[in-house]
Structure 1
């Protein structure tokens, strides 16, 4: 039987490939919609954000009031290198940034969550102080779950365009997620209620221009987060633009 390398080092046979294809082909519910198509198409222009930035003045970064140790969690399908520019700005302010240690984010599976949980515990024991979690998109959802399990190890959670509120299908990436992660977005492999607020300070940064995650899902409702902060950038721009990174720096100073 033909096999295909797909997820991490696992080998997926034809039956599993068919199952994942079926997950990707599920009908979209009528009561949940992602952002409009023009906003989604604009997301593909994210490389120009990097190009334009080369012709702008460097971002003004003030010294941090109290430097934090910050773990950055990338979005679905993204490698930590995509958050490197943000990390440099945080480091310019005096913060210490740490990668999540898992490479490309291929979904919030039980195994991957256990690995990032071990990473948090290791950082906490090494630093001997709570860690601030900054998660982009799916990385923010995972950061919230880490804070629910280990609130004593987490100083604060900042999410960037993360779909933690409302329908998990209120975005334009849920079919790709189901195909790659191998489970439905509304059937996570860990026991949780995604919208429940972690017992630590939790801030949601969201954008009305987000072309991937519906703004209401990323903003959340009162009680699902402590504060919501609007920025005007694309979903990809959450880790690339001055405005979004400035919002993160401001929140780190409020810790």
Structure 2
């Protein structure tokens, strides 16, 4: 059982081998698209979507197109392939964030997939007046060692946790100063699910879905939850409600205590 895995270790091998499920989740998105279009419509505010490790803006295309269909001004990050370097790209991301803030005259919601979620959380700390809310998808903010790609990340990025600024590591693990939602799956084959549990505060929450890590950006249940979160009034954030049929679609989330 995934729940018996060590908190600091990588996900169970069975989930790593089953990451190919992401293709099925993309098919499920296409099949359920008419239903997904019934999700709450947006208010037109800008949304910045950040890709995961080794991915580029193309990987977030299905998610961005879905958000655009709901009325949001969804944008990619424009920094090419994400080769890592937490604490090294934030200056350019901050410029991108403020570009969108100035263009639309409204706060920007930031969605980060996996490694992209670490950047999203850091942006919220660097510019809390420009960030409306943060949504992370399978992001290892509680422990950066609990992934199946830790050694690959260190090799590609040249960055090791032991050499990172302790203040940065502490800040990334703390809830950001804006509303924060962590969407995760217990069958994540890349990031151990416990590493993605947000600490409980009045403006944080965990939403658990069924699926893979590589499919979180187009997982139908993740998409519906994202739409629900983004549709909230800017100053009236409330936790996700598993009412009626949603109780069957979304398992009870785990506590970040």
TM bucket normalised to smaller: 0.7 to 0.9
State the match for 1:50 in structure 2: 26
Going from structure 1 to structure 2, the CA distance change for 1:54 and 1:44 (only over 3 Å counts) comes to same
Aligned Cα RMSD in Å? 2.2
Distance 1:160 1:98 in 2: 17
Measure how far apart 1:118 and its partner are. 1.3
Going from structure 1 to structure 2, the CA distance change for 1:227 and 1:109 (only over 3 Å counts) comes to closer
The 8 Å contact of residues 108 and 188 in structure 1, kept in 2 or not, is answered as: no
Uncovered stretches (5+) of structure 1, i.e. residues with no partner: 1-29
Choose which of 127, 145, 148 in structure 2 pairs with 1:172.
148
SS at match of 2:181: strand
Measure how far apart 1:196 and its partner are. 1.4
- The Cα offsets for residues 21-63 of structure 1, whole Å up to 9 and x where unpaired, read as xxxxxxxxx8721110000111134234334555556442235
Measure how far apart 1:223 and its partner are. 4.2
Choose which of 228, 231, 245 in structure 2 pairs with 1:253.
231
State the match for 1:125 in structure 2: 102
Distance 1:216 1:109 in 2: 20
Normalising by the residue count of structure 1, what TM-score does the alignment of the two structures yield? Answer: 0.81
- The number of equivalent residue pairs is 225
Distance 1:120 1:70 in 2: 9
State the match for 2:185 in structure 1: 207
Measure how far apart 1:221 and its partner are. 2.6
The 8 Å contact of residues 174 and 185 in structure 1, kept in 2 or not, is answered as: no
Measure how far apart 1:242 and its partner are. 0.9
State the match for 1:242 in structure 2: 220
Do residues 100 (structure 1) and 77 (structure 2) align? Answer: yes
- The Cα offsets for residues 157-194 of structure 1, whole Å up to 9 and x where unpaired, read as 001111111x3211111111101110103533695122
Do residues 160 (structure 1) and 133 (structure 2) align? Answer: no
- The Cα offsets for residues 123-153 of structure 1, whole Å up to 9 and x where unpaired, read as 1122211100011001011100000010000
Do residues 184 (structure 1) and 160 (structure 2) align? Answer: yes
Distance 1:188 1:224 in 2: 29
Distance 1:52 1:214 in 2: 24
Choose which of 228, 231, 242 in structure 1 pairs with 2:209.
231
Normalising by the residue count of structure 2, what TM-score does the alignment of the two structures yield? Answer: 0.80
Kindly report structure 1 stretches of 4+ aligned residues shifted beyond 6 Å: none
The 8 Å contact of residues 59 and 242 in structure 1, kept in 2 or not, is answered as: no
Distance 2:42 2:100 in 1: 22
